[in-house]
A and B are shown apart, each in its own frame.
Chain A
């Protein structure tokens, strides 16, 4: 497949890994956070932990929308879906996330709720048009990549006067999360978690461009390399970060030049700005309330805002106290550090969000990484199951 296969050349990946090993200063260590769950998946799937030298380590970040969605919002969506007049349309990623009562959208669907998995907001619009007697609510989640399609759905619903279509908006923004990580005590205090640089998200950056990261690179003196989602993209980005550190530089570099520009997709940004505004704060699972980190519909579109239209109640709900998803999302702990990992928490029975989404750090480690852990620590049966 064009633009995919050529970026998966294993020989080249190994060659660049060798260049990283020879470029990295053996007297120091390098810790790079891949913000995006897509990168987490690639790093686990292609065995980067073994490819990279021991002094170049990757730290998983919170860039997985399913992982950071607080379970109170899931509970609110389930409660809404249980109402007889409601048809809840959702991306498949959300179906198995449990609320505080152990319910999921999948369980609610089995109990009779009209919940439909859709590939696109276009499908949700089609359902609303085809079934005017139903109240069709689109469960919108995701970072800046997924927000423009929601904005266009709203635009289309307004243009077609679809009075039975509304949006439960849970969209979040990337810069606020990066800012939170860099200012958190975990990272900012000496002697705690070390992050020397960031791999910036691929498709979020296709929308917002590389410009928003310039502030972080400058203020926190951390290099950022925006990278594509193929293994050659990621390994090249790691090499670029190592070189920046060695040279004492901290700038934003763009590895994904085939799809990302400095200013991003201005048309998509304008569509989002037309329909959405920043919330004063929004709760992130594992990170807590983050200021100016989430979006809501602008007041003039209240008729299409499911939270207002159906007086939805959202509440803060605690995670299972034994679940380490919060610390894992902040890069403070690794999946195998959680005592639930591989015991009661597996992809079949996920306790925490990092195991529910295939892009979550725990699911990625379960699928691709735990065998390596087992090989290294034969007595660590508890953690690797």
Chain B
């Protein structure tokens, strides 16, 4: 139920809507729950609404921490 997917914002539309894409599939969603949406942003999409923006720096940091953890370093 709470599953949601990361999608890329391709176009910001009027009335707090946006066109997003996931693997070539395009969809119009609501961005009313988040601020300052720009093309190129990745958002978490759940039942037609963007719930939050993905922070690209933190995403990279998570992967780095996972790599470290896999090698046995404390995270």
Chain A residues at the B interface, C-beta cutoff of 8 Å: 1-4, 6-7, 12, 15-16, 19, 22, 36-38, 41, 63-66, 91, 93, 119-123, 141-143, 145-146, 148-149, 152, 201-204, 206-207, 228-229, 232-233, 236, 239-240, 243, 255-260, 265, 267-268, 271, 357, 359
Q: Is the CB of B32 within 8 A of A258?
A: no
Q: Is the CB of A258 within 8 A of B62?
A: yes
Q: Is the CB of A265 within 8 A of B6?
A: no
Kindly identify which residue among A1, A63, A64, A228 contacts B23, using a CB–CB cutoff of 8 Å: A1
Q: Is the CB of A148 within 8 A of B58?
A: no
Give the residue name and chain of the A residue nearest to B48 (CB).
A120
Consensus secondary structure, chain B interface: mixed
Q: Is the CB of A206 within 8 A of B52?
A: yes
Give the residue name and chain of the A residue nearest to B73 (CB).
A19
Q: Is the CB of B46 within 8 A of A236?
A: no
Known pairs A2-B8, A38-B3; A149 contacts B62 (CB<8 A): no
Query: Could you say which residues of chain A place their CB within 8 Å of the CB of B74?
Result: 243
Q: Is the CB of A142 within 8 A of B1?
A: yes
Cα distance, A16 to B71, chains bound together (Å):
8
Contact with A along B24-55 (1 / 0, CB 8 A): 00000010111100000010101111011011
Known pairs A146-B47, A265-B33; A357 contacts B62 (CB<8 A): no
Q: Is the CB of A1 within 8 A of B22?
A: yes
5 CB contacts below 8 A, A to B, read A4-B6, A145-B4, A206-B4, A207-B51, A265-B33
Q: Is the CB of B65 within 8 A of A236?
A: yes
Cα distance, A258 to B55, chains bound together (Å):
5
Q: Is the CB of A146 within 8 A of B62?
A: no
Give the residue name and chain of the A residue nearest to B71 (CB).
A15
Cα distance, A145 to B5, chains bound together (Å):
13
Report B40 CB to chain A, min CB distance, Å: 11
Kindly identify which residue among A12, A201, A203 contacts B66, using a CB–CB cutoff of 8 Å: A12
Query: Could you say which residues of chain B place their CB within 8 Å of the CB of A12?
Result: 66-67, 70
Kindly identify which residue among B33, B63, B72 contacts A152, using a CB–CB cutoff of 8 Å: B33
Query: Could you say which residues of chain B place their CB within 8 Å of the CB of A260?
Result: 52
Q: Is the CB of A259 within 8 A of B52?
A: yes
Cα distance, A142 to B46, chains bound together (Å):
12
Cα distance, A58 to B5, chains bound together (Å):
24
Report B66 CB to chain A, min CB distance, Å: 5
Query: Could you say which residues of chain B place their CB within 8 Å of the CB of A204?
Result: 2
Q: Is the CB of A119 within 8 A of B48?
A: yes
Q: Is the CB of B52 within 8 A of A145?
A: no
Q: Is the CB of A19 within 8 A of B47?
A: no
Query: Could you say which residues of chain B place their CB within 8 Å of the CB of A64?
Result: 1
Cα distance, A148 to B50, chains bound together (Å):
10
Q: Is the CB of B47 within 8 A of A91?
A: yes
Further 7 A-B residue pairs, CB within 8 A, beyond A146-B46, A206-B4 = A37-B2, A66-B1, A145-B1, A236-B65, A236-B75, A243-B74, A267-B33
Report B7 CB to chain A, min CB distance, Å: 9
Q: Is the CB of A3 within 8 A of B51?
A: no
Known pairs A37-B1, A143-B1, A259-B55; A232 contacts B30 (CB<8 A): no
Kindly identify which residue among A36, A41, A120, A359 contacts B49, using a CB–CB cutoff of 8 Å: A120
Kindly identify which residue among A19, A22, A93, A149 contacts B48, using a CB–CB cutoff of 8 Å: A149
Q: Is the CB of A152 within 8 A of B2?
A: no
The 8 residue pairs across chains A and B that have the minimum distance between CB atoms = A120-B48, A15-B70, A3-B6, A258-B59, A145-B2, A257-B58, A258-B58, A203-B2
* Residue among A37, A41, A63, A265 having the largest count of chain B Cβ atoms under 10 Å: A265
Give the residue name and chain of the A residue nearest to B22 (CB).
A1
Give the residue name and chain of the A residue nearest to B28 (CB).
A122
Q: Is the CB of A206 within 8 A of B66?
A: no
Query: Could you say which residues of chain B place their CB within 8 Å of the CB of A240?
Result: 75
